Amino acid sequence: MLLTIDVGNTNITMGVFDGEKLLGTFRMTTKRPRTSDEYGFMICGILEHRDIHAKEIDAVIIASVVPDIMHSLTSGIIKYLNVRPLIVSAGIKTGIQIVTENPKQIGPDRIVDAVAGYELFGGPVIVIDFGTATTYDLIGKNGTFEAGVTAPGIETAGRSLWGGAAMLPAIEIRKPESILAKETVSSMQAGLVYGAIGQTEYIVRKMKEKSGYMDAKVVATGGLGKIIAQETDCIDEYDPELTLNGLRLIYYKNIKR
């Protein structure tokens, strides 16, 4: 079985695949410092809880945007799963050609999403990941990573809002009953959610216009992506497991069969 690990700025998301079948997913927070033993013990414990024995994991692939935790995480995996993980980094086979000005600046998470978007939906495709940052990446018809847009994530914007304004409370991010809010909480929800919808529609439209890919498919992923995808016609598909499937696809591109 293959364990795929997406290390984001907020969460570490993991998925276990048996071939192409995703058996289950689980998460842990990224920001809490952990030792290699803690990582190994937690991963094994979660797997066992899902009725997956640690010895059944014979391959691991990781994409990470948090370099500081990688030594402890990889050491824990080697020690407890007895597997040396494949790390998504420069030189790995992806099937995607990056034609931006500085390809090394493209994060591994964006490359993984680009691979999944192109392999699963074809090109041209715009892949939107609603995470700590909201990223919009354009992959051309021949699998070229051509451009990207980076904006603050919805939760990131929310924390900035209530963290910087003493009179505003921390809130649950969800769509309010009406954009015509009549009290503080729903007014903040309206600003965050409808603001994200408007941003998404405008950026997608401009990316299509400037690239000439007016027929580009738009695929979204990320925790809050479902809220936005339900409220706009500019998103064609919402796939919460897009990144994990991208990791699976990259793994099999890099092993000898």
Decide if 230 contacts 253 (C-beta within 8 A).
no
Q: Tell me how far apart the alpha carbons of residues 109 and 107 are, in angstroms, rounded to a whole number.
A: 5
Residue 141: count other Cβ atoms within 10 Å of its Cβ: 13
Beta bridge partners of 221: 129
Tell me if residue 215 is catalytic: no
Determine contact, residues 102/180, Cβ cutoff 8 Å.
no
Reading the block at residue 110, the tokens are: 């964006």
The catalytic residue among 18, 37, 51, 109 is 109
160/249 Cα distance (integer angstroms) = 36
Q: Which residue has the tokens 């919402």?
A: 238
CB half-sphere exposure, 156, CA atoms < 13 A:
14
Cis peptide bond upstream of 124, omega within 30: yes
d(CA 152, CA 193): 13
Determine contact, residues 4/15, Cβ cutoff 8 Å: yes
Active site residues: 109
